Amino acid sequence: MSGLRAWLIDPAPRSPMQARAGQLWLGWLRLARNPLALIGLLIIVALLAAAALAPWIATHDPYAQNLAGRLQPPLSPGHWLGTDEFGRDIWSRLVHGARITLYIVALVTVTAPVVGLIIGTVSGYFGGIVDTALMRLTDIFLAFPRLILALAFVAALGPGIENAVLAIALTAWPPYARVARAETLTVRGADFIAAVRLQGAGAGRIVVGHVMPMCVPSVIIRVTLDMAGIILTAAGLGFLGLGAQPPLPEWGLMIASGRKFLFEQWWVATMPGLAIFIVSLGFNLLGDGLRDVLDPRSATR
């Protein structure tokens, strides 16, 4: 352990890998000083664990109906979070639903920020007509409320998780493009960019190798903070019946089905609501912590 530590904080790393690992370690130390960020991280880790270990953590089959034991209140024998209108165990459905939530989160993260990063950096680096065209396109997407635009996409593409994700991704990239462009504009005139241009580097190399690494931290922070909104949009689409389809244990869908019993059997809608709330909070806390670690402006020279 102490050997690994020494390797990580070695002021004279012997390989690029060691240099990067050392930087990650320092980042982790900085993050670890922020208790709220650690709570956020803990929530995300718990979500990951729940998704990975769902079959073992769940006490019941999430699809198994038991009409005799329907709408059992929380803490009833065998169902500590109660059952829904078909007698399905809510805890088991929540645990399996974590997989769907993660699936949506993962799909959105690998699409929207990447598109936004490319459009933003290209727009910011080249400026002029390219910038105007790309930014007006961004403005058009930004002008629509996200849920409405997503609704329109799903209505055109048909309901389902993949289409919901596609719709969210298509509506989520403009803010990342804006963030990346703003960052690019501050970096574009920097001496280190002038230096590499002077070495004969082409635009592609500069944008990918030199501009993007400077924009990635801001985009990551933004994505983490947006994750709550993405989960809520996905849940919203599920709630409206345009995302995941029954009987999938998607959290938004679960809230929708619990709506009918909200006053008498409150737990059916509340439990998935709490799950969404906790996971969103986790991403927000982590995002705030990451901002302190990654933001180039807060880093000391």
Partner 1 sequence: MALIEIDDLHVTFEAKGRPVHAVRGVSLAVEVRESYGLVGESGSGKSTILRAICGMAPVTGGAIRIDGRALAPRRDRGFARRVQMVFQDPYASLHPRHTVDRTLGEPLAIHGLARGAERGRRIVQALADVGLDAAFRFRFPHQLSGGQRQRVAIARALMLEPEILLLDEPTSALDASVQAEALNLLSRLRAERGLTFLMVSHDLAVIDHMCDRLTVMKEGRAVENLDHAQLARHDMKASYTRELFAATTERIAAAE
Partner 2 sequence: MSLLEVENLRVTFATEAGPVEAVRGVSFRLDRERLGIVGESGSGKTMTGRSVLRLIRPPGRIEADRMAFGGVDLMRISEREMRALRGRRIAMVMQDPKFSLNPVMRVGAQLTEGLRLRDGMSAREARAKALEALEAVQIRDPERVLDAYPHELSGGMGQRVMIAMMLIPEPDLLIADEPTSALDVTVQAEVLRILDALVRERGMGLMFISHDLNLVARFCDRVLVMYRGRIVEEIEAQRLSQATHPYTQGLLGCLPKIGGARGPLPTLARDAAWSE
Q: Does 195 bind partner 1 (CB under 8 A)?
A: yes
Site string for partner 2, 32-51 (x = CB under 8 A): --------------------
Candidates 25-33, 193-201, 230-238, 270-278: pick the segment binding partner 2 (CB under 8 A). 25-33
Contacts (CB under 8 A) with partner 1, residues 196-215: 196-201, 205, 209-210, 213-214
Contacted by 2, from partner 1, partner 2, none: CB < 5 to 8 Å by type? none
Q: Does 299 bind partner 2 (CB under 8 A)?
A: no
Q: Does 29 bind partner 2 (CB under 8 A)?
A: yes
Q: Shortest distance, CB of residue 53 to partner 2, whole angstroms?
A: 33
Pair of tokens at residue 130: 């390219």
Of the CA atoms within 13 Å of residue 234, those in its CB half-sphere come to 31
Pair of tokens at residue 270: 């509340």
Q: Which is nearer to partner 2, 18 or 111 (CB)?
A: 18
Cα–Cα distance measured from residue 96 to residue 100, given in angstroms and rounded to the nearest whole number: 7
Q: Which is nearer to partner 2, 20 or 259 (CB)?
A: 20
Contacted by 9, from partner 1, partner 2, none: CB < 5 to 8 Å by type? partner 2
Q: What number of other Cβ atoms are within 10 A of residue 184's Cβ?
A: 25
Q: Does 9 bind partner 2 (CB under 8 A)?
A: yes
> What b/e readout covers 111-146, taking b as 16+ CB neighbours within 10 angstroms?
bbbebbbbbbbbbbbeeeeebeebbeebeebbeeeb
Q: Shortest distance, CB of residue 298 to partner 2, whole angstroms?
A: 13
Q: Does 190 bind partner 1 (CB under 8 A)?
A: yes
Contacted by 196, from partner 1, partner 2, none: CB < 5 to 8 Å by type? partner 1
Q: Which is nearer to partner 1, 95 or 211 (CB)?
A: 211
Among 8, 18, 99, 152, binds partner 1 (CB under 8 A): 18
Q: Shortest distance, CB of residue 170 to partner 2, whole angstroms?
A: 39
Q: Does 191 bind partner 1 (CB under 8 A)?
A: yes
Among 1, 6, 14, 156, binds partner 1 (CB under 8 A): 14
Contacted by 191, from partner 1, partner 2, none: CB < 5 to 8 Å by type? partner 1
Residues that bind partner 1 in the complex, under the rule CB under 8 A? 11-16, 18-19, 23, 190-192, 194-201, 205, 209-210, 213-214, 296, 299-301
Residues that bind partner 2 in the complex, under the rule CB under 8 A? 9, 26, 29-30
